[in-house]
């Protein structure tokens, strides 16, 4: 009974938060850069791995929601504290892969590999989630993308006005009545990356985020 009541409570909290975020995002102007890179990737017969950092995931989620992107997947932790985000993602048209790098990772790997067998599938991921360290990509998901020959594209957001949460990732939340910038990168060329690390992916993501931040500042 306590478990059920907690789930109900988290569900309604997620609705309230989503309403607040809807107002915040709706009152901002939007500038989208490089969307043609994403459109071109969609036309290829290869799955897509959309990558962002945990600090900017709200921008990515909301843009993909209003874009009504199809066959979209995201990883959501099985921890009870992550249930709010799971509800939020479901209402934002995401299919969920439940698990994380610390819980149920083997199941996540199998699910991702199966999803990537569909050439039109898209998996969006925060490559430094769920708990960091910030702006350093984990190798596991990158290895899966390489094995599946998925197209890797970064998706970052920033805004002219924002709050920055004092958390491990310095999560950014846009303030109302500013301008939100969304940027898709070109497809990452990782064919010659033979290292058993995600250094190349980390560099790729950080370079694209730094480029966007300079554009906004």
- Block means of pLDDT (10 residues each) for the chain, length 217 residues? 76 90 96 98 95 97 90 84 84 87 78 95 92 93 92 98 96 98 97 90 98 96
Place of tokens 């950014």: 172
Q: What is the pLDDT of residue 100?
A: 65
Residue environment code for 50-81, b if the CB has 16+ CB neighbours within 10 A, otherwise e: bbbbbbbbbbbbbbbbeeebeebbbbbbeeee
* Beta-carbon contacts of residue 143 (< 8 Å; ≥ 6 apart): 196
Q: Which residues contact 50 (CB under 8 A, 6 or more apart)?
A: 60, 64, 122, 123, 124, 125, 153, 154, 155
Instruction: Report in angstroms the alpha-carbon separations of 209 from 9, 18, 55, 84, 113.
Output: 35, 25, 11, 27, 27
Length of the chain, in residues: 217
Domain boundaries, the chain: 2-216
Model pLDDT, residue 22: 94
The pLDDT of residue 99: 78
Whether the predicted model's global pTM rises above the 0.95 cut: no
Distance in angstroms (rounded) separating the CA atoms of residues 213 and 118: 34
User: pLDDT value at position 126?
Assistant: 94
């Amino acid at each position: 009974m306590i478990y059920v009541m907690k789930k109900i409570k988290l569900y309604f909290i997620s609705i309230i938060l989503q309403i607040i975020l809807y107002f915040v995002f709706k009152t901002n102007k939007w500038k989208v850069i490089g969307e043609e890179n994403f459109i071109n990737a969609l036309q290829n017969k290869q799955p897509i791995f959309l990558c962002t950092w945990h600090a900017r995931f709200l921008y990515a989620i909301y843009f993909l929601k209003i874009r009504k992107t199809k066959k979209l997947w995201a990883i959501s932790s099985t921890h009870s504290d992550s249930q709010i985000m799971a509800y939020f993602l479901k209402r934002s048209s995401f299919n969920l892969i439940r698990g994380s790098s610390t819980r149920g990772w083997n199941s996540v790997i199998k699910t991702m590999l199966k999803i990537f067998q569909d050439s039109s599938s898209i998996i969006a991921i925060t490559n430094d989630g769920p708990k960091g360290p910030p702006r350093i990509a984990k190798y596991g998901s990158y290895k899966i993308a390489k094995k599946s020959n998925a197209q890797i594209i970064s998706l970052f957001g920033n805004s002219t006005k924002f709050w920055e949460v004092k958390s491990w990732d310095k999560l950014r939340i846009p303030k109302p009545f500013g301008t939100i910038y969304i940027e898709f990168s070109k497809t990452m060329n990782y064919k010659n990356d033979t290292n058993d690390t995600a250094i190349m992916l980390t560099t790729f993501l950080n370079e694209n985020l730094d480029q966007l931040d300079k554009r906004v500042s």
